[in-house]
Amino acid sequence: MPFAKEPPHQHGTVSSSAVVLVNLGTPDEPTRGAVRRYLKQFLSDPRVVEIPKAVWWFILHGIILPFRSGASAKKYASIWTRDGSPLRVHTSNQAMLLHAALGERGHGDVTVAMAMRYGSPSLPDVLARLKADGCDRIVILPAYPQYSGTTTGSIWDAVFAHYRKIRNIPELRLVKNYHDHDGYIEALRQNILAHWETHGRGEKLVMSFHGVPKRTLLLGDPYHCECHKTARLLAARLKLKPEDYIVTFQSRFGKAEWLQPYTAPTVAQLAKDGVRRLDVICPGFTSDCLETLEEIAMEVRHDFLSNGGKEFHYIPCLNENAHWIAALAEIAEQHMIGWPTMTTPTQRALRQHDADKGREAALAKGAPQ
């Protein structure tokens, strides 16, 4: 296998570290063509759809892409902002705020980059840019608190596939999950309390997580268990009774059985059972996106109100929440332990001095300039 050409080595360069915040992805614009390109990449991932490739190719290209792209484009258009896709905007802001938060913690030399598993900026492109910039220590930080082979596992696939073509691979640290991280749970709690303080509290809190096929659970995927642990820890911190909240799963696709209970029919039934005011939060999403802003805040809201409910409140994702940014910084920091990321100006000068001495020694032995 041919390896990609390495960037010119510069003797005397001080090594650097980076954190790459990786989210799922989004179309570049809310048009049929852009959505079709995005869905093709997303739904062609064998981690996402575990159907024999030949069978799935005909379903994807003969049914889904021709008929779903236009409908999905309309949904994306309903949530699109002046700055673009909400998911991309929030993830980009989180990366910038994370960089600032790490700097405040003393990690001023750490680069923070945003990447998408599908769409742009693509994860391989971001990793290539970091290499060109001389970065040789990288933390891959998924925007998914709960691990699933369909999400975090797919990120690992992309990372490993990229570095299969690289001769000089940087040191890598991969954040698997943080579904029970104290800072993440506290950020969710603060987010909910802030909403309740402003809007009042509903009769019941629905915690809606993204769904996956039930067979993934039966085959050993820990996602279902991690979602329930997040919910249990959050409920305990909010001092909720078991009857005060319910865990559901949304975004079912296809005819196979997915994790249950499903969000939409559950919410409709709650309205029929007499629940007049409902609060819904999506703890598995760290940035608002199509699945939260359109599916929950629009479609599920309609299901609740049309079945007798009177007041529906969607509690936004963590997005740029200060408690969440602090939690992100703590998670990233924990995975950089042992790396020279906390340097004073004096220490930085000493590192550069050592690098300069190394360059002199290399040149004395005949190394190219």
Say whether 210 counts as a known binding-site residue. yes
Say whether 291 counts as a known binding-site residue. yes
Which residues fall within 8 angstroms of residue 348, CB to CB, at 6 or more apart? 14, 109
Q: Which residues are annotated as a binding site for Fe(2+)?
A: 210, 291
Q: Which residues are annotated as a binding site?
A: 210, 291
